[in-house]
Amino acid sequence: MRFDKDEAETKMVLSRRSFLAGSAGLSAVSVMPADATEADMELVIGLASMPMALDPHFYVLAANSSMAANVFDCLVVQDAQQNICPCLAIHWKMRSSNEWIFTLRPDARFSNGQPVTAADVVASISRVRRVAVGSLSSFVPYVEAITSVEADGPDTVKIRTASAAPLLLRNLSRIAIVSAEQADLSTDAFNRCPAILSSGPYAYAGWTAGESVRLCVNPYYWGRTPDWHRVRFVGLPDDRARSSALLSGDVDVIDGLPTENAAAFKQYPDINVASAPGSRILYLDPDVSREVSPFASDSAGRNPLTIAAVREALSLSIDRASLVTHIMDGQGVAAGQLVLPGYPGYVSSLGSDPYDPSRARSILSEHGLDTGFNLTLHASNDRYPNDSMLAQAIGEMFSHVGVNIQVVTMPASVLFSRASRREFSLIMGAANCETGEASSVIGPLLHSYGASGGQGNRGRYSNSALDRALSDAASESDEQLRQLRLEEAMKIGMTDRGVIPVVFFNTIWASRLGVRVVPRMDGYTLAQNVERS
């Protein structure tokens, strides 16, 4: 890959004709009758990634969580900037350092008119542990601190934790509240349930796995009635097809607008583009624990990725500024840690590693790798913005410092399933800052793998000091001290290069004239955040 490619090679032709010609054969996904009333109109949203399950407690995946947030409320929620706000709970207080009392709003109703009660909250929180079996990434870490949850009357919930749990509110913003009568369902039964009861602004009206999700407004919702009474999400993973569908009027909104299209779309008077800095971090995850690894070996057959200095050399060989400019079309930020400025746990003194291939080669030489080593980078080709191009570009940068690199890309569903079985030595992945603070990224990626964390730690990095700092942060009530513990954990993980941060993605949406998307830093595409303009 060359970084000084001609415009003809790297940019889409800016005319609509080119887009529509490229979408020949794309079937229409929405045909609106000419006499449809505004209340009857259906909002159609083209998604880059569809949910893998409707069960909101089974699998921590951005596409799953985003869809669930349209349908289910939580006790508290995160706003567009990931600040905590009241939702089903209108008030909470701490009776002691490990006992919380939540008061539910009296007007909350499920989509069948049934009140949302404390019993539903208890059943929902208790359900998380039951459905975790078989999940590649369960919600258990969000409820792990909870030792008991009980109803204290119909509108009061009492939650006890093992010790002080200052992150409880942020963790509870990830736990959807379902009906107690459906909480006993298995994930498979929940996904097949003909009438899933909704506690949020919308209710499920139909699902074809991998293809479409239909929603209808919850008539009993306590909050503002959304602008759209009916919504259809359709899966359009191909970037060009998704863009073409918007330009041809087949959909009203698309998420994951290809970065190369953002500037072009802003020139169209009947297209709106909305973007925001995103909390999703693209990173490299090296196998740091096995002396012999399937796709990383030196001349003696050993895995060089177990050496922190070698991981540093790989990081120094990455020209992050060029990736942002030439691959991401400016729609990203170079990353030196796992959260953006302003998030709890961000370390102001930690910048991204400079691009220094000379130093990288010297480090490799110092460790007997003058002739490089064999390495394969495995990455997705259908999950993140420009993921395949980013992987190829990173691979070329590695080759410039002497690494004998191969880059293999595949569908994300295949990549992460195989990666969870530890079939690879270096993968490219991405993670959202789900709770709006650093432990929600450090914990899954860098905490020692086991029941208490590290569920996404495929490289099996382990550092007891990092684990201890995270544990201390989780029980530290003093906000300043908690920030220091999170910063400590971040410094340890980044100094060790337990994972190698690369870039933060901007989140980008496009919509037709008359439709406005309120952008969110978590990248969630919520129908209730799509307004008529």
Adjacent-strand bridge partners of 505: 332
Instruction: Take residue 87 and report the two structure tokens written for it.
Output: 């939702």
CA angle 493, 494, 500 (to 5 degrees): 105
Helix (H, G, I), strand (E, B) or coil at 418: helix
CA distance linking residue 436 with residue 204, whole number of Å? 27
Rounded to a whole number of angstroms, the distance between the first and last alpha carbons of the chain is 42
- Tell me the two tokens of residue 282: 């693209």
- The CA distance from 347 to 491, in Å, is 8
Give the pLDDT confidence of 355-408 residue by residue, as tens digits.
999 999 999 999 999 989 999 999 999 888 899 999 999 999 999 999 999 999
- The residues, ordered by sequence, that sit 6+ positions from 155 with a Cβ below 8 Å of its Cβ are 103, 104, 106, 117, 118
Q: Could you tell me the CA-to-CA distances from 232 to 40, 55, 61, 251 in Å, in that order?
A: 13, 18, 20, 9
| Cβ neighbours for 12, distance < 8 A, ≥ 6 positions apart | 18, 19, 243, 258, 260, 261, 264
pLDDT at residue 133, rounded to an integer: 80
In terms of residues, how long is the chain?
Answer: 533
Dist. CA 20–CA 196, nearest whole Å: 38
At 479 the pLDDT is: 87
Using alpha carbons, select from 297, 305, 59 the residue that is nearest to residue 191: 59
Q: With beta carbons less than 8 A apart as the criterion, state whether 296 and 446 touch.
A: no
pLDDT (0 to 100) of residue 489? 98
Amino acid at 290: R
The candidate with the shortest Cα–Cα distance to 195, out of 184, 172, 210, 179, is 179
Q: What is the 3-state secondary structure (H, E, C) of 223-272?
A: CCCCCCCEEEEEECCCHHHHHHHHHCCCCCEEECCCHHHHHHHCCCCCEE
Q: Mean pLDDT of residues grouped by 10 in the chain (533 residues)?
A: 30 30 30 42 93 92 93 96 94 92 97 98 97 83 93 96 90 97 94 94 94 96 95 94 95 93 90 91 97 96 98 98 95 95 94 96 96 96 91 98 97 92 96 90 94 87 97 88 96 98 95 94 94 90
Tokens linked to 138: 């369960």
| Rounded Cα gap, residues 372 and 364, in angstroms | 7
pTM: 0.77
